[in-house]
Amino acid sequence: MSAAWAIAHEQGLGSMTLHEVARRVGLRQPSLYVYVESKLALYDAMFTHANAELLARVEQAGESGSPRVQLLRLSRVVLDFAVEDPARQQLLFTRSIPGFTPSAQSYALAEQLVQRTSRLLAELGSGSPQQADVYTALIAGLGAQQIANDPGGDRWTRHLEPLLELFLDHFLDPSEPI
């Protein structure tokens, strides 16, 4: 896993080959098949690994505070996680690897984050599928812009909280307490 991520960081996610992974871990490529059945299976293992890391960070951030505070904190964790590693962001959020679809098992981890976010949005009165789409586009858009235009900076990510406030203010039912 470490060798695969190192290659992805150095050469790009799509440039990873099983031959290079095997070389870096001191194996011949056929021996690598004992550990992983294909390149797509390795991507799936990486997808699982990255989602497990993300969920651990989300759990570490905790669930204290109002749903609004929780959503703001969760969004910050997800956005920061995405922009700190462009290869990981690409694998988790852009679906840019031809032929790669996460397995049901690895996708179940991603679904945990979706369910938590959906629950918070619903508690805030912004739980429709359309509103969830806008929320997702907001987070993904900030992350993509940050990576593409100011890697390592905060030109785009610094706008997260004000944009989420605008989003929530727009979609919240004014009769509901915040």
Q: What is the DSSP letter of 62?
A: -
Contact predicate 40/99, CB 8 Å: yes
Q: What is the DSSP letter of 128?
A: S
pLDDT of 72 reads 96
pLDDT of 126 reads 86
Cα torsion 135, 136, 137, 142: sign: positive
For 80, the enclosing helix (H) or strand (E) is helix 67-83
Residue 123's identity, in one-letter code, is E
pTM of whole model > 0.85?
yes
Mean pLDDT over the full length of the chain: 93
Residue 38's identity, in one-letter code, is S
The full set of domain ranges for the chain reads 37-171
Residue linked to tokens 């996460």: 102
Q: Domain 37-171 adopts which CATH fold? A: Tetracycline Repressor; domain 2 (1.10.357)
Over 60: is that where the pLDDT of 178 sits?
no
